[in-house]
Amino acid sequence: METLVQSLLTYSLLFVAISHTLPPLACSFPISHHFPAVFNFGDSNSDTGELSSGLGFLPQPSYEEAYFKTPYYGRFCNGRLILDFLMEAIGRPYLRPYLDSISRQSYRRGCNFAAAASTIQKANAASYSPFGLGVQVSQFITFKSKVLQLIHQGDDELERYLPPEYYFKNGLYMFDIGQNDIAGAFYSKTFDQVLALIPTILDIFQDGIKRLYEEGARNFWIHNTGPLGCLAQVVSLFGKDKSKLDEFGCVSDHNQAAKLFNLQLHGLFKKLPQLYPGSRFTYVDIFSIKSDLLLNHSKYGFDHSIMVCCGTGGPPLNYDDEVGCGKTATSNGTIKTAKPCIDSSKYVNWDGIHYTEAANRFVALHILTGKYSETA
Indicate the pairing of strand 304-308 with strand 347-349.
parallel
254 is catalytic: no
Domain contains 335? no
Domain contains 125? yes
Annotated catalytic residue, options 44, 53, 129, 344 = 44
Q: Residue 124's CB: how many other CB atoms inside 10 A?
A: 9
Question: What pTM does this model have?
Answer: 0.91
On the question of a cis peptide bond just before residue 61, with omega within 30 degrees of 0, the verdict is no
Show Cβ contacts of residue 252 under 8 Å, excluding neighbours closer than 6 positions: 229, 244, 245, 246
Instruction: For 130-161, write each residue's pLDDT tens digit.
Output: 999 999 999 999 999 999 999 988 877 888 89
Residue numbers of the domain that contains 98:
24-303+354-375
CATH of the domain at 60: 3.40.50
Mean pLDDT of 81-109: 91
Share of the chain above pLDDT 90, in %: 79
Instruction: For 10-43, write each residue's pLDDT tens digit.
Output: 434 433 333 344 444 544 446 888 999 999 999 9
> Coil, strand, or helix at residue 361?
helix
Show Cβ contacts of residue 224 under 8 Å, excluding neighbours closer than 6 positions: 178, 261, 262, 265, 266, 283, 284, 285, 286, 287
Annotated catalytic residue, options 47, 100, 176, 351 = 351
366 is catalytic: no
351 is catalytic: yes
Give 234 or 72, the one with higher predicted confidence.
234
Give 159 or 53, the one with higher predicted confidence.
53
Mean pLDDT of 88-101: 93
Domain contains 343? no
Mean pLDDT of 326-344: 92
Domain contains 128? yes
Q: What does the pLDDT read at residue 172? A: 98
Residue 200 has pLDDT above 60, yes or no: yes
Instruction: For 291-319, write each residue's pLDDT tens digit.
Output: 999 999 999 999 999 999 999 978 899 99
- Band of residue 2 on the pLDDT scale cut at 50, 70, 90: very low
Instruction: For 266-294, write each residue's pLDDT tens digit.
Output: 999 999 999 999 999 999 999 999 999 99
Annotated catalytic residue, options 20, 297, 354, 366 = 354
What average pLDDT is seen over the chain?
90
Q: How many domains does the chain have?
A: 1
Domain contains 322? no
Domain contains 16? no
Domain contains 317? no
Domain contains 347? no
